[in-house]
Homo-oligomer: A and B are copies of this chain.
Amino acid sequence: MKRYYRIGEVASRTGCSPESIRHYEKLGLLAPPQRGEQGYRFYDQAALERIGFIRHGRSLGLDLHSIQELLALSDTPDTDCTAADDIASRHLEHLEERIAALQALAGELRQVVHQCRGGKAANCQIIQTLYDHQPTCTERGCGEVTA
């Protein structure tokens, strides 16, 4: 006796909004579920776990494409899973670079913060610093840290 859940209940159980669930389906991360007579989606326990998988991956910062690759591996249990390790390692590397970049930014920012207590904009050290361009890197396409 399988239990079935409508999308709203899945949402509250997984912490994943109905919109996202439909979105994952559209992207092919989730197979189209069964539908009730009125067209309502019905999910079983396996689908719940798959959504949990996606959610956990997202909470680790993985992008949906990587998660899709991991799910594909999981769907073919006989495959060599080195690819999974590659994805995770690559992401970890990526995270570490991101962290280093953000720390550099924070350091640079700490040097200017609280430099202009109560002054006028004309003398503001923060604004001055921004005009003095020795940006960390002037190369095209460099330094746009998503933060």
Please report A residues at the B interface, Cβ cutoff 8 Å. Answer: 11, 15, 17, 49, 52-53, 55-61, 70, 73-74, 76-82, 84-85, 87-89, 91-92, 94-96, 98-99, 102-103, 105-106, 108-110, 112-124, 126-127, 129-133, 135-140, 142-147
Contacts and interface: CB of A to CB of B under 8 A. Distances in A.
A60 B109 contact: yes
Contacts of A129: 56
B139 A81 contact: no
Contacts of A142: 15
Given A70-B130, A78-B121, A85-B126, 10 more contacts: A52-B135, A59-B137, A78-B120, A81-B123, A81-B127, A85-B117, A87-B126, A98-B147, A99-B99, A102-B102
